[in-house]
Structure formats: C-alpha cells, structure tokens
A and B are shown apart, each in its own frame.
Chain A
Amino acid sequence: MTARTGDKEGRWAWRLTGFITVCVYIFMFAPIIATVVLSFNSSMFGGFPMTGFSLQWYVKLLGNEQVLAAFRTSLWIAVVTAIVTTAVGLVTAFALVRFDFRGKQILSTLVILPALVPETILGVGLLVLIKAVDQPRTLLILVLGHILLAVPYVVLIVQARMVGVRRVYEEAALSLGASRLASFREITLPLLLPAVIAGALLAFTISFDNTSASLFWRPAGVETMPTQILSMLKISISPEINALGTVMILVTVGIPLIGGLILQSLTRLKRRGEPKEETQ
C-alpha cells in the first residue's frame, strides 16, 4: 500500500516538476523568440499579429547611422574591456591563489565587491567621484567603469581554475631551469587558458550588454547599443528595435558560443591517470 501511494506521489511529483520546467523555459525564452520572430514581421507596429515576412527592418537598421555608430562604440568598448579585464583578472587571481601576503583576505573580498554592489549605486558612485574631482565624462571613464564591473567575474573564473592547476607543475618547470616568468608562460598560462578565454568572453558580454551603469557614465552624445535601444523606445516601439534586439542576441550569445567551441578544441587534453597527491 505505502509503496503504491509512494509511486503515485512520485509520478505526480514528476509531472509537476516537468510542468514547472516547461513553464520556466517558456518564461525564459518566449520574449527572446518573440523578439526574433517579430523582427521579421512586415507590420508597421512592433507587435503581434504577424502580417508577413520581411527583412525591411534589418535593411532600415543598416541605413541608420545612429544605430551603426552605437554598435561600433559598444563593440570596441567591449573588446577593450575584455582585453584589459582579462589581463588584470589573471594577474589578480594568480596572486590570490599562489602567494600569501598581508591583507589577502581583504583584497579578495574587495575584488569581488563590484559584482555584489547594485549597478545603479556603482553608476552613481563613479559619477559622483568624477564630479568631485571635476573631470568630464569621457569614453575612458566609461571603459574603466565596464572594467570595474567585469573584473570580479574574470577573477572568480580564473581563480577557480588556478586552484586546480597544481603548484607542482610550476615547481617542476622551475627545477628544469625555467625562470618564473617562463614557467608562467609555458606551464601555468596554457593550463589556465580555458578559464582565461571564458573570462574574456564573459567580460565582453558584460560590457556589451551593460545598460544601467552606461547610462550614468557615457559622455554626452555617445550611445552604446543598449542605451541606443532605450532612447529609441522612448519614441515608439518600432519593429526596428526588434531587429536590433535580434542582432544583440546574436552577438551576446554567438560570441561566447564560438569561444566555447574554440575552447573545446584547444583543451582536448584528456586528464586520465593523474595520481592523487599524498600530503606529507
């Protein structure tokens, strides 16, 4: 008897789980799908019903100099952010894992802090700081802000991998005659590469996506993609925005995806047969 009720309960639990899962997926993907589908709608209004298939909104987008400028701005800001953040994050993570120094705990918390503080607060904070030292809002400030936002994630990713790269590899390289720099370049860095690339891609998307902090930091007259979309929305929900949204999705999903594929082919190093190290 108990077994049967148990089975019944189990079946219901499964159905419920399945139902909720489907709901969650619909909730997550319906807006994305709607955006993509509507971007091909020939209707003048950026909503359902579909009246026909058309690429006119994409064509219009290509002719919109404002949008193209915003896209270019976002792209290069994201690239610079990714490069700088990865370098800074790599060095920071290396120091935090490999060296013992005073205030290490404090530093490791401080580094993560920008990820925990609400973005609006950070946005206002940096803005107030700039005003306090009487500096104009420049693109440099915007890039620095994005770096600030992305560094914690890169540090966390690289740190996690760094812990797995056993010190003994570096020691072996040193004992064989490689200087510290050489052993980092030849041993540590290649072993960290998956995390470094993952970190760079994440930094890129964080920067490319960022809206709220960019709103505070961007210099007058400069738009990034997200802020451009926002200002376009103020006027009307044009189907052009759907097309723009689709492009955004393509960039932010496509780039990490391509990166992931590159990564997979790079790390085809099977790690069988590595012995457990006995501690002394």
Chain B
Amino acid sequence: MTTTQQTPRPASAGVSAQPADGSAAGADRHAVEFRDVQIAYGKFVAVRDFSLSIAKGSFVTLLGPSGCGKTTILRSIAGLVDITSGQISIGGRRVDDVPIYKRNIGLVFQSYALFPHKTVFDNVAFGLKYRNVPRAEIARKVGQALEMVRLPGAEKKLPSQLSGGQQQRIALARAIVFEPEVLLLDEPLSALDANMREEMRVEIKKIQKATGITAIFVTHDQEEALSMSDRIVVMNAGSMEQIGTPQEVYDTPATAFVADFLGKANMLAGTVSAVDGAKATVALAAGQSVSVVSPRPLAQGAAVTVVVRPQKLSVAPGSGENRLSGRVVSTSYLGGSAIYEIDLGGKTIVRANNAITGRLAREGETVEVGFDPAGCVLLDDKGLRIA
C-alpha cells in the first residue's frame, strides 16, 4: 500500500460518522470519540481523517483487509500508538496525554497474551490488583468473571494447561473483570480453529450484552463483523469507507470496495441507455440490458456499475423483472441452498445463492437469472454509490 493511494470518498451520510441521533450534546453518551485523527509513521500515513463516535454500550467493529489501519486505530485508543494529529476521547475525557495504564481499557489480543508464569487467578486478578481492590473483593470478582466466561474453578491452572479457546476466555475475563470503560478486541478469534471461533463469537457477544460494556472489535472477517456488530466501520487504506449497521453496509454499500469486501457482490458494468424518471435501463458490458431503480435521475450515457448480491440473484424461472440468460458454469450444492456460477457471456460470470425450491440447475445448462430492479445498488464511475 502506498501513501499516495486515493480512496474514493463517499459523499453519503454514512461517512460523517456522527451518532445516529445526530445530536451534538451527546458527549457523555460516547464511550469513545475520534476527531480528525491522523496517525503517521514517518511518511507513511496509517490512518487519515478519522472521525468516529462510539455510543456507550454498543458493539462496533472495525472491518477491513490487512494493513487498512484498523488495528492501528484500536491501538491508538489503548495508547499503544501515538496519534499524529486530532484527538481521542474516552468517556468524554481527552486521552492524548494519558498513558496506557491510566486509560482504564480492557484489551484482548489475538495471541491471548496471558502471562505464562502466572496462574489463571493471578492473570485475571492483575487489573484489580493495580486498582487497589481489597483481597477478598478480588477473589469474589475473579470468581464471578470466570463464571461469566464459563470456566469456573480454573483459578489454579497455568495458561499452558488450557486450550486456545479457554485461554481466550481467560483473556476476556481478565479484560472485563475491572469493568473498564471500553473493551478492545484485536482479532481475538483469528488464532482459534473454525468451530471454536463460532462458539466464541456467540460467547463474546453474550458477555458484551450482559455486561453492557462498550466493545470495539477489529477483524478482517466479514462474517464476524456482520454477525456480532451493532455498527460496522469498513476501512480501506487508512480511511473509513462506510459506517452503518451490518444491514446497511451489506445492503447498501457506499463504495465499490465495500460491496466487494463484504460478501461476494456481482458487479455488472454498463452504461445508462434509457431514462424514465426513477427508472433507467442499463446496457451491460456483457451484452444484455437490465432495468434499475435509481434514487436520483441518471444521465443518459453515464457509466454505472450494477451491484447485485448473490442472494438477490434468482435462478428460478419467471422470477424478477430483469431476465438475463446465461450458462451454468458450476453448481455447489449446500443442502438448503445452492451457489451457482453463471456465465452471462462477455467474460462476465455472476454468482447466485438461492434456496433450493425446485430442481437444481446443472452445469452447462442454459438458465435465466433474474433480479428485482430495486434489489440492486448502483455505483457511479468513481465507484461511489448513487444515492
């Protein structure tokens, strides 16, 4: 990645990143607030123009590919990374000059980072000890925290005697036991195997709900982001691409990057050939035409990209207004549903993910795929959503 890389700056409301209620007087409702934060290492700008308010008690995910700056942002909240300009507040208090050990944050690492020479009890009690909590109280709280992560009675074990999933539970208990103002989770599931990951996903979400703690979660896994978050911040190359609820970012991606990164979107390039009020006809590069509904009138001849989710693309005959004919390249049977890859001609292959109602289309078969004009998102020639 280079510093000169330009990311499309969406003009949509999402990027303003103001709280949903839009009020400015909500400072005490914000667990964490970024204002025009920039983080640079020498000439390399890791994060630019980052403004974000995170409501108390919410679960916010920073999602993006490797090197997009999401971990840097998380570490800047913790105080492990110094910001170059702008300001960060935790619970309404500016923390620019507050050292990490006075920030009152809970941090969970990808590699668990349990102290290998300390027992589970001493690990979990660590934060309480430095907050001068009386000894009896520490024992009670540690017991409670271990119960919460469903590992009661593990006090005397060493981290090395626990499995990866158990270690991460202990790490979680250690991070929440002293009731920090915000819980920061840096790809906490990446080191776990697939089964464990799913279990922990549910577990973390449950604990977050039960405690009401504000959680900021960093991941490159869109499934984790979609399933766990109240809001998702999609990051690319040091900038915020979109912020919204999982449904918002999935259904109405603000940029081509978001559409592509979250779920496998079909991106059909074309030009507007006819306009009729909100409706327009787009001649696809693949050779066929589709009609779409645009939030604002389109200019004839404008280049647009029609984004259709695989779930919105139906292979069943007679469904959807837009009919595109193609040949099935591959069929993956998944039990309840099937994923088709369909060649529309002109080197355009689309994916369709349908629940199986009737017969399964076979490879080589010619089929019609359809989608609703309202079931797609339109991007302009800069890759920004037309809204």
Chain A residues engaging chain B, CB cutoff 8 angstroms: 166, 168-169, 171-180, 182-183, 187, 190-191, 269-278, 280
Contact = CB atoms under 8 A, between A and B. Distances in A.
Contacts of A269: 116-117, 158, 160
A169 B118 CA distance: 12
A271 B127 contact: no
A175 B110 contact: no
B130 A177 contact: yes
A75 to B, nearest CB: 32
B102 to A, nearest CB: 8
A275 B103 CA distance: 27
Interface in B148-190: 158-164, 167, 174-175, 178, 187, 190
10 contacts: A168-B111, A169-B115, A175-B100, A177-B101, A177-B130, A178-B126, A273-B159, A273-B160, A273-B163, A277-B110
A178 B101 contact: yes
B125 to A, nearest CB: 10
Given A177-B130, A182-B130, A278 B101 contact: no
Contacts of B114: 172
A217 B287 CA distance: 92
A185 to B, nearest CB: 12
A190 to B, nearest CB: 5
A277 B113 CA distance: 10
Given A166-B113, A175-B103, A177-B102, 12 more contacts: A172-B107, A172-B109, A172-B174, A175-B106, A175-B107, A175-B175, A176-B126, A176-B127, A269-B158, A272-B160, A277-B111, A280-B71
Contact of B117 (A177, A190, A278, A280): A190
Interface of B is mostly: loop
Interface residues of B, number: 42
A191 B191 contact: no
B217 interface: no
Given A169-B113, A172-B115, A191-B117, A271 B107 contact: no
Chain B CB within 10 A, most for which of A168, A174, A179, A280:
A280
Given A175-B78, A269-B117, A280-B67, A275 B112 contact: yes
B31 interface: no
A213 B161 CA distance: 49
A275 B105 contact: no
B80 interface: yes
The 4 closest A-B pairs by CB, nearest first: A177-B130, A176-B127, A175-B107, A275-B191
Interface string B83-117: 00000000000000001111111110111111111
B347 interface: no
Contact of B111 (A166, A177, A183): A166
B227 interface: no
A50 B350 CA distance: 95
Contacts of A275: 110-112, 164, 191
A274 B107 contact: no
A277 to B, nearest CB: 4
A178 B109 contact: no
Nearest to A178: B130
Given A177-B101, A178-B130, A171 B107 contact: yes
Chain B CB within 10 A, most for which of A172, A272, A276, A278:
A172
A168 B113 contact: yes
B131 interface: yes
B116 A177 contact: no
